[in-house]
Amino acid sequence: DAKTTQPNSMESNEEEPVHLPCNHSTISGTDYIHWYRQLPSQGPEYVIHGLTSNVNNRMASLAIAEDRKSSTLILHRATLRDAAVYYCILTETGANSKLTFGKGITLSVRP
């Protein structure tokens, strides 16, 4: 599986935008980029996914570099409830692909 690298942690202020980076220099042309997050003592929650183009949904935006070797998850206005571990994961093409979780990035949000 292609690997991703993320910083261990990041801090942000409430109501400010947050940019969470992810490097995936060995990504293949058919790998999808997924982001999940996990709040303490809960199962992970889907955030967003994309292939080549930038993506927006109600939770976040995903900005994908032109060479696809990196991507950035953007939370437009961080809230205290966004404090979680965020995982950037690559999946092989096709539906029902398994997810391989790395260490993720721990986001702290200051009030």
Choose between 13 and 57: whose C-beta lies nearer to another protein: 57
Choose between 25 and 100: whose C-beta lies nearer to another protein: 100
Among 104, 105, 107, 109, interactor with another protein by CB under 8 A = 104
**97 lines the binding site for another protein (CB under 8 A):** yes
Asked if residue 89 lies in contact with residue 35, where contact means CB atoms within 8 angstroms, the answer is yes
**96 lines the binding site for another protein (CB under 8 A):** yes
Asked if residue 51 lies in contact with residue 32, where contact means CB atoms within 8 angstroms, the answer is yes
Report the Cα 105 to chain-centroid distance in Å: 9
Choose between 48 and 109: whose C-beta lies nearer to another protein: 48
Q: Give the helix, strand, coil percentages of the chain, each rounded to 5.
A: 5, 45, 50
Span 22-81, contacts to another protein by CB under 8 A = 32, 36, 38, 41-46, 49
Q: In what order do the strands lie in the sheet with 61-64?
A: 18-23, 70-75, 61-64, 55-56
Residues that bind another protein (CB under 8 A): 32, 36, 38, 41-46, 49, 87, 91, 93-104
